[in-house]
Amino acid sequence: MSSLSPQPYKGTRDYYPTDKRIQNYIFNVWHQVSELYGYEEYGAPILELLDVYAAKSGQDLVNDETYSFTDRGGRLVAIRPEMTPSISRMVAAKRQELGYPARLYSIANFMRYERPQRGREREFWQLNADIFGVDGPRPESEIIALVNDMMKTFGATDEMYEIRVNNRKLIDAIMTSYLGLDTVGAQLMVKLFDKKSKISHEDFRDKAIDIFGAEQAPDGLKKISKLLSMTSVKDLPQEIREDDATKELQALFELLGEAGITSARFDVTLMRGLDYYTGTVFEMFDLHPENNRSMFGGGRYDGLVGLFGVDPIPTVGVAPGYTTVELFLRSHDLLPDFPSSTEVGIVVLGGADSGALELAKGLRREGVKTEVDITSRKIDKQIKSILKKKIPFMVFVGEDEVDSEIYPFKDTGLAEEQKLSFERIVSVVKDRRRSNVGEFDDLFE
C-alpha cells in the first residue's frame, strides 16, 4: 500500500503546541475581555441545515463558498461558514427563557471554500460576541469598546489600527436623498463604494459615471468627491444632516468619545458585504503597510432572530477572526515567545523511575505541571528533549536524590544549577508563574 500524505487538507492548518500556544494566548484575551464585559459563553453545532444560511447570509457565501452536502438521511446541510445565523436560531428557540440584554459569545471554527491566501484560510477560527435586546446606539458603543479593549490588551496602540464606522440606513439616505439614485442605481453604487479601495481612481470614476448616466454625472461626481473628503459625521451634507440615520451615528460617536475610544472614525465608503445588517456597520482596520486591510467587522442586524418564527430582537454583534488578528500581532511585533505549558521536566538517572514518578506525583499535587522522561535513555537525550519543548525548568532524579530528597534543579534559560528541596522547587516554579501574570495563561487572574 502506498503511504498517505502527512499534509493537512488544503487551506486548513495543523496547530502544533508551538502554534497552539499563540492561538491560546489570543483566545484567552478574547475569553477574558468578553467575560469582563459580561458576555457569557455558548456553543453551537458545526453543522446546520443549509436553509439557515440561504435566508440571509448573501448569495456568494451560500452558492460558492459553503461546504454543503446531503447527509445520509437526505438533508441538505452545511459546515457553518459563520456564526450569526446559528446564534440567531438559538436565541429564537429560547426567546422567552433568556434574560435581556442577552450578551453571548463563542470562539469556534468555520469553513468557507475560498482560495487560501495571506490572512485567509478555508478553516478559520472566530470570536463572535453579540448583544440581543437593545436598540441603538448603546450596544453599538459597547461592542466597539469591547473589541477596542481587546486590541489594547494585545498591546496595540492607536496608530496600529482604526475602527471605521458607517450606517446602512445612512448609506440608503445618501444614495437616494443626496445622490438622487433609484433603487437599482443605489445598489450598484453601494457595490462600487465597497470595491473602492481595490480599484483605481479612474476605474472608480468611470463606473460611477455609468451609474449616474451622462446627464446626472457631473453633479453626482462632485457630490461623491465631497462625500469622500469627509472625516467626521459633522461634514455630512445639509441634505441628510437631519436624517434619523445621521443622528444615530452622531449619538454613537458621542458615546464612543465618552468611553475614551480615540481610534474610531466615520467612513462613508464602508459597506460590509453581508446582507443582514440593518443599521450601524463597522470594521477594524489593520494599518500596517504590509497588511492595510480590514481585519474583521460587525454591526446591527435586527431582522435575523425573527426569521425563526418569533418576534424579531434588536441585535448588535462583532466577529474577530483569528487569522487576521494573528497576522496583525505578528506584523506589529506584538507576539511574545511562549514557553511550554509544562513547567518542570524530570530527567531520570539510572533506573530511578519509581522515585521520579513519586516526585512528579507530589509536584502535580501542588499544581506544578510536570513531565517525566520514561524512556530510560541517556541523559543528554533527555535534556535535549526538554530544551526542544521549551520547558522552563529541569529536575534530575537518581537514587541519591531519592534518598537525600535534595534535587539538582535548573532554569533552562540560565547556566547555573541549584540543589533544591521539594518545597523550594514548588515555590520557585510558582514565583515564575506569578511574574508572568498578564502574559500567559493566568491573564487577568
For the segment 378-397, give every residue that binds a copy of itself (CB under 8 A).
384-389
Residue closer to a copy of itself (CB basis): 22 or 160 = 22
Pair 174, 268: CB distance under 8 Å? yes
What is each CA distance from 250 to 134, 168, 257, in whole angstroms? 18, 14, 11
**Would you count residue 357 as binding a copy of itself (CB under 8 A)?**
yes
**Would you count residue 349 as binding a copy of itself (CB under 8 A)?**
no
Distance CA 269, CA 281 (A): 11
Q: Which of 358, 417, 432, 334 is nearest to 383 (CA)?
A: 417
Residue 150 identity (one-letter amino acid): M
**Would you count residue 432 as binding a copy of itself (CB under 8 A)?**
no
| Interface region with a copy of itself, contact rule CB under 8 A, candidates 224-232, 235-243, 287-295, 360-368 | 360-368
Question: Which of 221, 227, 310, 379 is close enough to bind a copy of itself by CB under 8 A?
Answer: 310
CB of 341 to a copy of itself, least distance (A): 5
Q: How far is CA 386 from the centre of its chain?
A: 32
Site for a copy of itself in 412-431 (CB under 8 A): none
- Residue 422's Cβ-count burial label (10 Å; 0-12, 13-18, 19+) is middle
Upstream peptide bond of 289 is cis (omega within 30 degrees of 0): no
**Would you count residue 241 as binding a copy of itself (CB under 8 A)?**
no
CB of 204 to a copy of itself, least distance (A): 32
Dihedral sign (CA 98, 101, 107, 110): positive
Residue closer to a copy of itself (CB basis): 111 or 189 = 111
Pair 133, 318: CB distance under 8 Å? no
Question: Which of 207, 369, 424, 432 is close enough to bind a copy of itself by CB under 8 A?
Answer: 369
**Would you count residue 442 as binding a copy of itself (CB under 8 A)?**
yes
Residue closer to a copy of itself (CB basis): 164 or 410 = 410
Distance CA 61, CA 75 (A): 19
Binding-residue total with a copy of itself (CB under 8 A): 102
Binding mask 28-67 for a copy of itself (x = CB under 8 A): -------xxxxxxxxxxxxxxx-xx--x--------x--x
Pair 420, 428: CB distance under 8 Å? yes
DSSP-derived 3-state class of residue 228: helix
Residue closer to a copy of itself (CB basis): 69 or 218 = 69
Question: Which of 28, 58, 116, 138 is close enough to bind a copy of itself by CB under 8 A?
Answer: 138
Distance CA 411, CA 390 (A): 11
**Cβ of 85: how many Cβ atoms within 10 Å?**
23
- Residue 140's Cβ-count burial label (10 Å; 0-12, 13-18, 19+) is buried
Question: Which of 351, 364, 423, 427 is close enough to bind a copy of itself by CB under 8 A?
Answer: 364
CB of 137 to a copy of itself, least distance (A): 10
Upstream peptide bond of 137 is cis (omega within 30 degrees of 0): yes
Query: Angle CA(291)–CA(266)–CA(292) in degrees, nearest 5?
Result: 5
Binding mask 325-344 for a copy of itself (x = CB under 8 A): ---------------xxx--
Residue closer to a copy of itself (CB basis): 369 or 424 = 369
Residue closer to a copy of itself (CB basis): 197 or 375 = 375
Question: Which of 26, 61, 107, 111 is close enough to bind a copy of itself by CB under 8 A?
Answer: 111
Q: Which of 144, 168, 153, 133 is nearest to 255 (CA)?
A: 144
Q: Decide the pairing of beta strands 76-79 and 47-49.
A: antiparallel
DSSP-derived 3-state class of residue 7: coil
**Would you count residue 309 as binding a copy of itself (CB under 8 A)?**
yes
Site for a copy of itself in 149-188 (CB under 8 A): 149
Question: Which of 59, 74, 99, 413 is close enough to bind a copy of itself by CB under 8 A?
Answer: 99
Residue closer to a copy of itself (CB basis): 48 or 267 = 48
Residue closer to a copy of itself (CB basis): 51 or 239 = 51
CB of 38 to a copy of itself, least distance (A): 2
Residue closer to a copy of itself (CB basis): 289 or 309 = 309
